[in-house]
Amino acid sequence: MTQVVAVDIGGTHARFAIATIADDGSITLGEPETLHTVDHASFQTAWEDFRDRQGGTLPRAVSMAIAGPVGGEVIRFTNNPWIIRPSLVKEKLDVDSYTIVNDFEAVAHAVARANENQFIHLTGPDKPLAPTGRLSVLGPGTGLGVAHLYREPDGTYRVSATEGGHIDFAPLDQIDDAILSRLRKRHTRVSVERVVAGPAISDIYQTLAAMEGKPVADEDDIAVWTRGQDGSDSLAAAAVDRFCMSLGSVAGDIALAQGGFGGVVIAGGLGYRIRETLLKSGFAERFKAKGRFQELMASIPVKLIVHPQPGLFGAAAAYASEHRKPAQ
């Protein structure tokens, strides 16, 4: 049995939990703690805060899932100002071993190990994810995370992180054109993350308002999401539906690019919060709308992972995979 501090660090939150990895490879997560990244000057001070909350001592192993590229001597986060120097992790955190993975690489590890009852069906054939072959994993949050998972016939698997959230946005109709036009005023190059990450709902809402000639106040994305979900604002609801349509388009593009024909998994807290809207929106139609490949797209099962902490669970799974003991 091994105990590891699992950490899932995004643009807004840093989540911590003590994970126990049993000798048979099964993983149990302790109660998670969520800290706000803006409340801490660095990852080390957030670590120390969590350590204090745990009574002053922590296991001497850590696995970090990080929102951003993880190679090189200095790791910089995509949507928060923290940095991590891998060469100093043992010294700064007082640990003996560590694993560092991209946040959606961790989520793909969670997808690989999660039970079937931790997924709900979104579109495509209502069957389990393929036991072998390639699966695509993506999810909107502060940014858009993308990874892929390859399941081997012998039951093992491989995970690769990607920066697929930064591919170009491809508009499909006049409303998409209008959203792109608005975003181009601020960004020379508009990536899909600008359209299908949580903060994007504000630009979508403002675009729809301008098309209808309705003056609306600039406000944060949380307010728009709230009104769009509770039915109090029909324009905000239309923005949420448009978001879901764009997410379907992007998910289909990622599946085509990666060859994720064994299944596509939507992850992330935002995906879970809008799950009912996803089912009723144009997500499924846009996912399949790939011209000559529509029949192929319709054959792909698309799921939403509902594990309560896929980033933390996946970080622990990544550590177990990297540090597993060789077979005797």
Binding-site positions read 7-12
CA–CA gap between residue 246 and residue 232 (Å, rounded): 22
The arrangement of strands across the sheet holding 144-151 comes to 119-123, 302-305, 264-266, 133-140, 144-151, 157-161
Instruction: Point out the annotated binding site for ATP.
Output: 7-12
CA–CA gap between residue 132 and residue 154 (Å, rounded): 9
Contact 227, 233 (CB under 8 A): yes
**CB-side neighbour CA atoms (13 Å) of 126:** 3
